Amino acid sequence: MEKVAVFPGSFDPFTVGHESIALRALTIFDKIIIAVGYNASKKSFFTLEQRLSIIKKVFENEPRIEVISYEGLTVDLCKKIKVKNILRGLRTSADFEFERAVGQVNKAMLSDLETVFLLTTPEHTSVNSTVIRDILLHNGDPSQFLPKSINIKEYLPR
Ligand code: ADP
């Protein structure tokens, strides 16, 4: 049976850290579905369409990675598309505390669901979408923290 994991997140924007987790997970899973969360009441820096298009471009030559969007609970997405594994990355103990609560609550809601965590590689520990948004807001260049195939300027207002 094909082993599939959903990698959910806001990916605002998708970073080298996210890229590394998704690619490394392909050694464990046959297919990764990157699921970009949409929350109508939460303002994002990049629109949903931009976030989807950035991630699709990053993995345009990787057929084992699919990119979708969703609204609502990740467990409901997993039920709907019949996937039993959630993939998440861990950078710090703060990530761990947060992920532990979410992972345990998700498991309580959907008992055959497993959350699989990959530790970030040391060079990506400080890479953070919030910091990248701040660099962009102040006209800095965050390209070293973004996947090589992405020219973020194409997605910024002129
Ligand atoms: P969310 O809003 O759901 O936390 P993010 O887009 O911030 O979405 O992150 C999605 C996932 O990627 C989370 O599991 C997060 O811990 C992980 N992640 C974020 N940045 C990195 C990084 N630099 N290295 C490894 N994992 C990361």
pLDDT tens for the 158 residues of the chain, in order = 899 999 999 999 999 999 999 999 999 999 999 999 998 888 999 999 999 999 999 999 999 999 999 999 999 999 999 999 999 999 999 999 999 999 999 999 999 999 999 999 999 999 999 999 999 999 999 999 999 999 999 998 77
Quote the pLDDT of residue 157. Answer: 78
Is 106 touching ligand 1 by the criterion CB < 6 Å? no
Beta bridge partners of 114: 85
The CATH fold of domain 4-155:
Rossmann fold (3.40.50)
Beta-carbon contacts of residue 74 (< 8 Å; ≥ 6 apart): 6, 8, 35, 37, 86, 106
The protein residue with its alpha carbon nearest to ligand 1, atom 23, reads 17
10 lines ligand 1 (CB under 6 A): yes
What SS3 state is found at 45?
coil
- Encoding tokens for residue 146? 């973004």
31-38 sheet: strands from edge to edge: 65-71, 31-38, 4-9, 85-90, 114-119
pLDDT of residue 2: 96
Residue 104 CA to residue 126 CA, distance in Å, equals 26
User: Ligand 1 centre from 1 Cα, in Å?
Assistant: 28
pLDDT for 35 equals 98
Amino acid identity of residue 153, one-letter, is: K
CB-CB contact of 95 with 124 (8 Å): no
Q: Identify the pLDDT of residue 40.
A: 84
Smallest CA-to-CA distance from 15 within 138, 157, 130, 103 is with 130
Name the residue at shortest CA distance from atom 16 of ligand 1. 89
Domain map of the chain by residue range? 4-155
Residue nearest to atom 22 of ligand 1 (CA): 17
Backbone angles phi, psi at 94, to 5 degrees: -65, -45
- Interior CA angle at 107 toward 102 and 112, to 5°? 150
